[in-house]
Amino acid sequence: MKLRDRIALITGGGRGIGRAIALACASEGAQVAVAARTMEQVESVAKELTDQFQVQATAIACDVSNVNSVTAMFGKVSEAFGRGPDILVNNAGIAESALLTRTDDDLWRRIQGINLDGTFYCMRAAMPGMIERGWGRIINIASIAGKTGAPYIAAYSASKHGVLGLTRSASQEVAKNGITVNAICPGYVDTDMTTRGIENITQKTSLTKDQALESLKKMSPQNRLVTAEEVAALALLLASEDGRGINGQAINVDGGGVLF
């Protein structure tokens, strides 16, 4: 029970990577708050955690791009568990694609608002309590797009590059307080987000869904998609005492496609 008596808050916790991380944390004894814009999804995950692992779990509706909603979310975590989170996983995110010249202001702001502003708002809200308690783990789910670029994803790539900048700078500010701040950079993960990406590829190209899937798999030397559980396993390491020496890092989980 590596996370016994720890409180974990996971944004974007209703499905995919967020749900997998919530399950991993609960399996090691953490009490878990799962948050997302869709309340029905996080309620289902919270019930799953309680039923399977007999831990306290709560579901919270939150739009991380809205600072007032983030403030309210942290208040609800404190109400449910008696204090703020020891572990914060910033997983909420969106991925939309367009050529840079066709990226309008609304698309740009929507992606930055959720992926970058949301991460910043949550980190800023979580840190004071972690500093006061002398222990904390912040895990930002970024992307290999935060280290490289590709056509059609300028806005998304910019947001994830920003997340890595936040991660690295914050890690240096709080290292002396018993807090680590790290990022995980997945490649294409077998989740609903990738499924929507495949649908987008088929709409914009002559590829079938199977051909689009194969093209994504070939971006990894392992010729496969990453699983949400693989990302969750790394998140669990970073959240535990076993990972206390890892700080300020952006760790790829992509089968070796990006080597820095």
**Catalytic positions, please?**
156
Q: Which residues contact 222 (CB under 8 A, 6 or more apart)?
A: 255, 256
Q: Take residue 145 and report the two structure tokens written for it.
A: 């797009």
Q: In what order do the strands lie in the sheet with 7-11?
A: 57-61, 31-36, 7-11, 87-90, 136-141, 179-186, 250-253
3-state secondary structure 41-84: HHHHHHHHHHHHHCCCEEEEECCCCCHHHHHHHHHHHHHHHCCC
CA angle 65, 158, 145 (to 5 degrees): 110
Residues 160/203, Cβ–Cβ less than 8 Å: no
Distance (Å, whole) CA 72 – CA 35: 11
Identify the CA nearest to 251 among candidates 199, 233, 83: 233
DSSP 227: P
Burial class (CB in 10 A: 0-12, 13-18, 19+), 2: middle
For residue 1, give both structure tokens. 């029970």
